[in-house]
Amino acid sequence: MRELRVGYVPDQHRHSLIGAAPYCRHVPLGDWNRLLARAGRLLNRCTGRELLEVSELAHTFRERRLHPGVDVLHLCNQVSYGRLPWLTSFDVALPRLAGPGAARGSGSTLEQTAAHPRTARTLAALATDRCRRLLALSRCAADTQGQLLASALPAAAARWHAAIAGKTMVLPPPQPRLLSHMQSKPPLGGRRLRLLFITADFRRDGGLELIEAAAPLVRR
């Protein structure tokens, strides 16, 4: 069987699938749009104005001629408009065009994404044959994607909905199980439980939900 050469952006694959698939050789690629997005954040911060739409830059992969010998792209939270076949893993929903937290589970933010002027173009790209798979990293992400499609696609674009839903599947990160069941976890025995939460944006990445989930346990 011929080895499949998969192009990927190294700093995007935090939920790494690299090395999990047999017969694949992963080829690291540069991402010009990510560099533009970083420059755009700095420019917007310095000017106090939204001169560049950073979210669109960060979540769009720009295919370049500097990617020879790559058979398929495996992106993470990004969409490609190029000629190479591609698939993408996502942890919330696609597209992510309306700013931080726009595609989270609340109705208002989903509506904001659905109303974005570039959402239709992105959904059209997801529906093309070049987009081979949409890999939701959790069932929650797949459900959020379904909600976004239901609110963003008019009846005339039902074929897009069917195409996108048909290629969406849940594929959690391939990390080994640490416990076979919760009963095998040693009890705290009166010791303090310490929770470490690593993020650049505590509230947007679920910090408030973490506190709300832990509070009843502390009271008990």
Tokens of 101: 């937290």
Q: Which residues on neighbouring strands pair with residue 28, listed in sequence order?
A: 8
111 φψ region: left (φ > 0), alpha (ψ -120 to 50), beta (else) = alpha
Contact partners, residue 125, CB within 8 Å, separation at least 6: 79, 80, 81, 131
Q: How far apart are CA 28 and CA 98, in angstroms?
A: 28
For residue 96, the model assigns a pLDDT of: 73
For residue 105, the model assigns a pLDDT of: 42
Q: How far apart are CA 97 and CA 28, in angstroms?
A: 25
Q: What is the pLDDT of residues 105-144, one digit of tens each?
A: 444 466 667 677 777 788 888 999 999 999 998 898 899 8
For residue 81, the model assigns a pLDDT of: 87
Select the highest-mean-pLDDT range: 7-11, 16-20, 94-98, 133-137.
Answer: 133-137
Q: Are 34 and 45 in contact (CB under 8 A)?
A: no
Stated as kind and residue range, the H or E segment containing 122 is helix 119-127
For residue 102, the model assigns a pLDDT of: 45
Mean pLDDT for the stretch of residues 85-95: 88
Tokens of 188: 């705290």
Q: Is the dihedral of CA 170, 8, 120, 43 positive or negative?
A: positive
